[in-house]
């Protein structure tokens, strides 16, 4: 697509793109390039000498069992967060899509967690489920559960997943509601006339028509679980206990900035970049296809 009516000017367009180009080059391309270069270098502990080591950092990374565990953990977290948050949000959206009195109020009351920052989400949930002072921990103990996410890795992981999914409900809810409202009512009415009960109508008509939205949200949720959970993890568990809540992004941070292992951290960054590019590519292809439907 091109505009027919345009201006002729030699210098003005460059002046107009210059500010953004400058910011992007300095704060995006330069560091990205640095990450790639750094990933091929090995630096001694004092930063005195560096040598070019080709793919050693990558090879070492893939020989490291801890890295594979972090990959598996990240995918598991992403899947658990996306699945729980998407299913709950879909249930709420289906209910809110019905012609109910006060549906605007419901919508307002459900969308605001979108605006809550990840570290605040972390603080809220660690407070409620803190082993010694958490309000909810009392009930868990009353149920006979030995609840201590500060010591038990599985419980810490559960806590992260609950908090991260909680924050994402509102976002998914909004998109599901928009998706549901774009389904023509006549299709559902036709199915109803054919004698399909509400549950059947949902699974045979609504759900398939909603599948583009579901797929889009799945990708968005995975990207969210990859990156935006950093603040939640850092406030709640700091990757621990042990390494039971250390995701890929958290590992980049803790290896590079806390551990001083720059080459490995950079190699991890590059791998992450590739992963995100693939995910975004999928998203774009899908969005484009959707436009031509």
Partner 1 sequence: MVEEEGFRRYVAHFILWIGIAIVAFPVYIAIIASTQENALIANGQMSLLPGGHFFETYYQTIFVGTSGSTREPVGNMMLNSLVMALMIAVGKIAISIISAYAIVYFRFPFRMPIFWLIFITLMLPVEVRIYPTYKIVADLHMLDSYAGLALPLIASATATLLFRQFFMTVPDELLEASRIDGAGPLRFFWDTLLPLSRTNMAALFVILFILGWNQYLWPLLITTRDDMQTIQVGIRKMITTTDALTEWPIVMATAVLAMLPPVFVVVVMQKLFVRGLVETEK
Task: Scan residues 126-155 and list those touching partner 1 (CB under 8 A).
Answer: 126-128, 130, 132-135, 137-138, 150
Site for partner 1 in 51-110 (CB under 8 A): 88, 91-92, 95-96, 98-100, 106-110
Q: In whole angstroms, how far apart are CA 233 and each of 110, 112, 133, 144, 249?
A: 24, 21, 19, 26, 10
- Contact flag: residue 207 with partner 1 (CB under 8 A): no
Judged by CB under 8 A, the residue of 42, 160, 161, 262 near partner 1 is 262
Q: Which is nearer to partner 1, 95 or 145 (CB)?
A: 95
**How many Cα atoms sit within 13 Å of 51 on the Cβ side?**
4
Piece of the chain touching partner 1 by CB under 8 A; list 27-35, 52-60, 70-78, 152-160 = 27-35
Question: Min. distance of Cβ 56 from partner 1 in angstroms?
Answer: 18
Q: Answer left, alpha or beta for residue 144, where phi above 0 means left and psi between -120 and 50 means alpha.
A: left
A 10 A CB-CB count for 205 gives 17
Using rule CB under 8 A, residue 227 touches partner 1: yes
Distance in Å, CB of 182 to partner 1, minimum:
10
Indicate whether 259 belongs to the interface with partner 1 (CB under 8 A): no
> Which one of residues 26, 66, 145, 258 is an interface residue with partner 1 (CB under 8 A)?
26
- 19 makes contact with partner 1 (CB under 8 A): yes
Q: Write b or e for each residue in 193-202: b if 16 or more Cβ atoms lie within 10 A of its Cβ, otherwise e.
A: eeebeeeebb
- Nearest approach, Cβ of 63 to partner 1 (angstroms)? 22
User: Could you give the CA distance from residue 146 to residue 132 in angstroms, rounded to a whole number?
Assistant: 11
Return d(Cα 39, Cα 10) in angstroms, integer: 40
Choice from 78, 168, 170, 221 touching partner 1 (CB under 8 A):
170
By CB under 8 A, tell whether 17 contacts partner 1.
yes
Q: Of the ranges 7-15, 45-53, 56-64, 77-85, which one interacts with partner 1 (CB under 8 A)?
A: 7-15
- Rounded to an integer, what distance in angstroms lies between the CA atom of residue 21 and that of residue 29? 10
Q: Is 148 left (phi over 0), alpha (psi -120 to 50) or beta?
A: beta
- The token pair at 199 is 């549950």
Contact 248, 70 (CB under 8 A): yes
Pick from 63, 112, 143, 186 the residue near partner 1 by CB under 8 A. 112
Per the CB < 8 A criterion, the answer to whether 255 and 269 are in contact is: no
Q: Considering only the stretches 4-12, 51-59, 62-70, 153-161, report the one whose residues sit in contact with partner 1 under the rule CB under 8 A.
A: 4-12
Q: Is 69 helix (H, G, I), strand (E, B) or coil?
A: helix
Residue 45 CB, nearest distance to partner 1 (Å)? Answer: 16
* Intra-chain end-to-end CA distance of the chain, in Å: 18
- Of 19 and 144, the one with the shorter C-beta distance to partner 1 is 19
Name the segment binding partner 1 (CB under 8 A); options: 6-14, 43-51, 54-62, 79-87: 6-14
């Amino acid at each position: 697509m091109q505009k027919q009516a345009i201006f002729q000017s030699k210098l003005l367009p460059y002046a107009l793109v210059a500010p953004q180009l400058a910011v992007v080059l300095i704060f995006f391309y330069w560091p990205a390039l640095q990450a790639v270069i750094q990933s091929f270098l090995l630096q001694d502990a004092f930063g005195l000498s560096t040598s070019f080591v080709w793919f050693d950092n990558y090879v070492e990374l893939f020989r490291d069992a801890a890295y594979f565990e972090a990959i598996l953990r990240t995918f598991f977290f992403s899947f658990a967060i996306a699945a729980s948050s998407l299913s709950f949000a879909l249930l709420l959206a289906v209910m809110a899509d019905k012609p109910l009195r006060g549906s605007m109020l419901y919508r307002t009351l459900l969308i605001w967690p979108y605006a809550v920052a990840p570290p605040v989400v972390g603080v809220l949930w660690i407070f409620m489920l803190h082993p010694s002072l958490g309000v909810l921990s009392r009930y868990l103990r009353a149920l006979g559960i030995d609840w201590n996410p500060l010591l038990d890795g599985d419980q810490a992981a559960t806590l992260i997943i609950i908090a991260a999914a909680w924050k994402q409900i509102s976002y998914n809810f909004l998109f599901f509601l928009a998706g549901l409202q774009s389904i023509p009512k006549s299709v559902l009415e036709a199915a109803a006339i054919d004698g399909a009960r509400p549950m059947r109508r949902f699974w045979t008509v609504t759900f398939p028509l909603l599948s583009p939205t579901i797929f889009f949200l799945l990708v968005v949720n995975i990207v969210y679980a990859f990156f935006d959970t950093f603040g939640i993890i850092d406030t709640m568990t700091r990757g621990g206990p042990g390494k039971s809540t250390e995701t890929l992004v958290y590992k980049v941070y803790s290896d590079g900035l806390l551990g001083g292992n720059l080459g490995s951290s950079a190699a991890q960054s590059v791998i992450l970049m590739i992963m995100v590019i693939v995910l975004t590519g999928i998203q774009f292809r899908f969005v484009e296809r959707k436009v031509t439907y």
